[in-house]
């Protein structure tokens, strides 16, 4: 285990590069940092956002990093040089989350303006604005085949969208409070959502049916992630724990206690590190 030090404010998100060699972190200090995942050595400090940075995501080839900020923009960076490639503008309020499509051609962003933005990751052009949520959109995730996009919101719902047409496919209802985070299983058949209601829910992406409600956290759940083989699901909570669950049965496997509330988590590409 390593502790990576350097940010001057709270860290809001972390993610591994596709090859597992780099780690990116987003912070309240308005910066994004790139780290060597093996040694913990700092590689780059990406500066340019004017307010808190809420989320980061690597492109599938690892050559670009997207960051989302309270300054209402999404920025694209070159991970080798740290150079700013594009600044994507269009949201009217804070941008809370960002995700690349599996082919790297499209970028999705979630905003406090209750919309999801779809962007051309090469040119930075706006492709679609997805409207339907009634309140802030907290998280977005593409399905493994890139045909669907999932979004979560303060309106307590999870929505599934057709990425080609920009049309709604399903509205998943069941959480009692804000739906904070979302993740597709590697085979795309399940969707996990995390909520302020202290639960994680597993959904069937084909039918929208609720499969499992995972209970055990004592405070709101901030993040979820499937292991690369899809057999386990990890959830992070403000109750200062990370929990591992059997993704098929919903059975609890392990509880990892940490000293602070956990806002983000990610599996390494080989599943050996969380």
Length of the chain measured in residues: 274
pLDDT in tens, 50-81: 999 999 999 999 999 999 999 999 999 999 99
pLDDT at 5: 60
pLDDT in tens, 144-162: 999 999 999 999 999 999 9
SS3 helix, strand, coil % of the chain, rounded to 5? 0, 50, 50
Residue 266: other Cβ atoms inside 10 A:
18
Res 207 pLDDT > 70: yes
b (16+ CB within 10 A) / e for 18-39: bebebbbbbbbbbbbbbbebee
pLDDT at 172: 97
Distance CA 272, CA 267 (A): 7
Domains along the chain with CATH numbers: 7-101 (2.120.10.30), 132-269 (2.130.10.10)
Distance CA 109, CA 117 (A): 5
Q: What is the share, in percent, of the chain residues with pLDDT greater than 70?
A: 93
Closest among 25, 109, 30, 15 to 62, alpha carbons compared: 15
pLDDT at 272: 66
pLDDT at 2: 57
pLDDT at 267: 75
Average pLDDT over the chain, rounded to an integer: 91
pLDDT band at 259 (very low <50, low <70, confident <90, very high): low
How open is the CA angle 174-178-183, to the nearest 5 degrees? 75
Please name every residue paired with 235 in a beta bridge, in sequence order, or none if there are none. Answer: 224, 243
Average pLDDT over residues 102-120: 97
Query: At 102, phi and psi to the nearest 5?
Result: -60, -30
pLDDT at 16: 86
H or E, element range at 106: strand 106-111
Please count the helices (runs of H) and the strands (runs of E) in the chain: 0, 24
């Amino acid at each position: 285990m390593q502790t990576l030090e350097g940010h001057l404010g709270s860290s809001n998100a972390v993610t591994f590069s596709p090859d597992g060699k780099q780690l990116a972190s987003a912070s309240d200090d308005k910066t994004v940092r790139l780290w060597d995942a093996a040694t913990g050595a700092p590689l780059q400090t990406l500066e340019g956002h004017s307010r808190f940075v809420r989320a980061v995501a690597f492109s599938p080839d690892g050559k670009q990093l997207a960051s989302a900020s309270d300054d209402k923009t999404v920025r694209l960076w070159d991970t080798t040089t740290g150079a700013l490639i594009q600044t994507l503008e269009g949201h009217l309020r804070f941008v809370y989350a960002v995700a690349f499509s599996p082919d790297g051609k499209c970028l999705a962003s979630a905003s406090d303006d209750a919309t999801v933005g779809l962007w051309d990751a090469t040119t930075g052009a706006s492709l679609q604005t997805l409207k339907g949520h009634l309140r802030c959109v907290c998280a977005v995730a593409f399905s493994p085949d890139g045909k669907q996009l999932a979004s979560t919101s303060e309106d307590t719902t999870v929505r599934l969208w057709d990425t080609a047409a920009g049309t709604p496919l399903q509205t998943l209802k069941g959480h009692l409070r804000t739906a904070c985070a979302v993740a597709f299983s590697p085979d795309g058949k399940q969707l996990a959502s995390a909520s302020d209601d202290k639960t994680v829910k597993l959904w069937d992406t084909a039918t929208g049916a609720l499969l499992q409600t995972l209970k055990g956290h004592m405070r709101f759940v901030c993040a979820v992630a499937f292991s690369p083989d899809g057999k386990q699901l990890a959830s992070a909570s403000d109750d200062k724990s990370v929990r591992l669950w059997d993704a098929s049965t919903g059975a609890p496997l392990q509880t990892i206690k940490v000293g602070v509330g956990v806002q983000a988590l990610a599996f390494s590409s080989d599943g050996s590190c969380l």
